[in-house]
Amino acid sequence: MINYPERLNLAQTPTPFYPLERLSKQLGGPRIWIKRDDLTGAATSGNKVRKLEFLLAEALAKGCDTLITSGGVQSNHCRSVALLGAQLGLKVHLLLRADIEPKPVGNLLLDQLAGATISHYSLDEYRGLNKLFNQWQEHYAALGRKAYAIPTGGSNGTGMWGYIAAAEELSQDFQRHAISPAAIVHATGSAGTQAGLMLGCQLHQINTQVKAYAVCDNAEYFTRKVRGDLEQWQSHYSPQTDISGLVADTSDEYIGPAYGVAGEEVFECIKEVAALEGILLDPVYTGKAFFGMIEDIKKGKFSQWDGDDIVFVHTGGLFGLFAQQHRLGY
Ligand SMILES: *Cc1c(COP(=O)(O)O)cnc(C)c1O
């Protein structure tokens, strides 16, 4: 029995789980299943909501009335925090890295609609992110408020619980369909989904390979970040759990030009999957990971693991697609 910490009911779960029959047939390889974590909500959709169920429970338990978090201009995580903060009656302050011009479209538009306070920082200023968090926390303390800081992507030992719980949900999906997938595939950016799924599979005794596709940074970065988050989880919640066997498996081959910037092949993949399966991928995360998975299936990389089934966790990101609609060429 796993002892989950306090949790708010914010995500629409369990999310749907089913095979992509047409795509699998077209590829002629393993059967590809999809876990629809893009359906955890309407505007609050995506993987961040699962983490925020635990993070925001902790914020409320600590008596906080303000949330501070950070990310890129089109951060899905920041948008989820902005909307959930409004839902819970909390003030939200977003520290956004000016990685692109801050046009009020996609996620940023929703941040504004949700009434979040937004500070934009140059790439240079953003390097001092920890200091910015401290300064704003002190600023709110001086106003008699109590601010809860959520790290970028909600990825830490607490947010990780969201994907430990998701792994439990997946184990029920697998039982229901009587499958034992060779791999669980997903996009990784701040590593909380990755660390949570890896640990969740161990805790729920799911015998599979968690295979992450990076959308920024290299594989070594994710090895370190996953390890750090796992150690934080262990020291906070479960010193008796052995995490020594958990080693991140990250592909950094499909990042493309930069974080948030995808090549033509990713947009082609997005169009193909939308038309063939009615699934909308995004150019920042899921499109890159899905494209990488298909390339690697074609190269035979998944045949090293036993099993005829592969699971793709759709982590959301729809509003990021609308922010880049000019790239679709219609
Ligand atoms: C944040 C995000 C990811 C990556 O999840 P991390 O836990 O930050 O690694 C993947 N897909 C989408 C759509 C996201 O918004």
Check whether residue 146 and residue 173 sit in a common domain: no
Check whether residue 115 and residue 171 sit in a common domain: no
CA angle 273, 318, 175 (to 5 degrees): 65
Give 120's strand partners.
96
Is residue 195 within 8 A of residue 153, CB to CB? The reply is: no
Check whether residue 192 and residue 120 sit in a common domain: no
Pocket test for ligand 1, best of 39, 51, 223, 285 (most atoms within 8 A of CB): 285
Q: 183-188 and 209-214: which strand pairing?
A: parallel
Check whether residue 287 and residue 198 sit in a common domain: yes
Residue 280, Cβ density class (10 Å: 0-12 exposed, 13-18 middle, ≥19 buried)? middle
Q: What is the domain range of residue 89?
A: 48-154
- Per-residue pLDDT, 73: 98
The proportion of the chain whose per-residue pLDDT surpasses 70, expressed as a percent, equals 100
- Per-residue pLDDT, 304: 83
33, part of any domain: yes
Domain boundary among 139, 154, 169: 154
Residue 35 sits in a domain whose CATH number is 3.40.50.1100
Rounded to 5 degrees, what are φ and ψ at 33?
-105, 155
51/153 Cα distance (integer angstroms)? 9
Which two three-digit tokens encode residue 183? 């791999």
Check whether residue 227 and residue 280 sit in a common domain: yes
The proportion of the chain whose per-residue pLDDT surpasses 90, expressed as a percent, equals 96
- Per-residue pLDDT, 327: 96
Is residue 199 within 8 A of residue 237, CB to CB? The reply is: no
Check whether residue 100 and residue 193 sit in a common domain: no
Three-state SS at 73: coil
178/199 Cα distance (integer angstroms)? 22
Check whether residue 126 and residue 251 sit in a common domain: no
Chunked into runs of 10 residues, the chain (330 residues) has average pLDDT values of 94 98 94 98 97 98 98 98 98 96 96 98 97 98 98 98 98 98 98 98 98 98 98 97 98 98 98 98 98 96 88 98 95
- Per-residue pLDDT, 1: 73
Give me the number of domains the chain comprises. 2
Residue 270, Cβ density class (10 Å: 0-12 exposed, 13-18 middle, ≥19 buried)? buried
Is residue 310 within 8 A of residue 170, CB to CB? The reply is: no
Note the pTM of the prediction, 2 decimals.
0.98
**Kind and range of the H or E element at 235?**
helix 219-237
261-314 pLDDT tens trace: 999 999 999 999 999 999 999 999 999 999 999 999 999 999 888 779 999 999
**Kind and range of the H or E element at 183?**
strand 183-188
Residues annotated catalytic, as ranges: 75
Pocket test for ligand 1, best of 45, 184, 215, 315 (most atoms within 8 A of CB): 315
51/59 Cα distance (integer angstroms)? 12
Check whether residue 266 and residue 165 sit in a common domain: yes
6, part of any domain: no
11, part of any domain: no
What is the whole-number distance in angstroms between the Cα of residue 284 and the centre of ligand 1? 9
**Is 192's C-beta closer than 6 angstroms to any atom of ligand 1?**
yes
Check whether residue 137 and residue 280 sit in a common domain: no
Residue nearest to atom 15 of ligand 1 (CA): 76
227-260 pLDDT tens trace: 999 999 999 999 999 999 999 999 999 999 999 9
241/234 Cα distance (integer angstroms)? 7
C-alpha pair distances (Å), 158 with each of 142, 152, 231, 282, 310: 27, 13, 11, 26, 28
242/225 Cα distance (integer angstroms)? 18
Is residue 33 within 8 A of residue 293, CB to CB? The reply is: no
Give the position, in ligand 1's atom list, of the atom nearest the Cα of 212.
9
221, part of any domain: yes
Domain boundary among 95, 125, 154: 154
- Per-residue pLDDT, 225: 98
Check whether residue 252 and residue 310 sit in a common domain: yes
30/300 Cα distance (integer angstroms)? 10
Check whether residue 295 and residue 172 sit in a common domain: yes
What is the whole-number distance in angstroms between the Cα of residue 140 and the centre of ligand 1? 28
Residues 6+ apart with CB under 8 A from 224: none
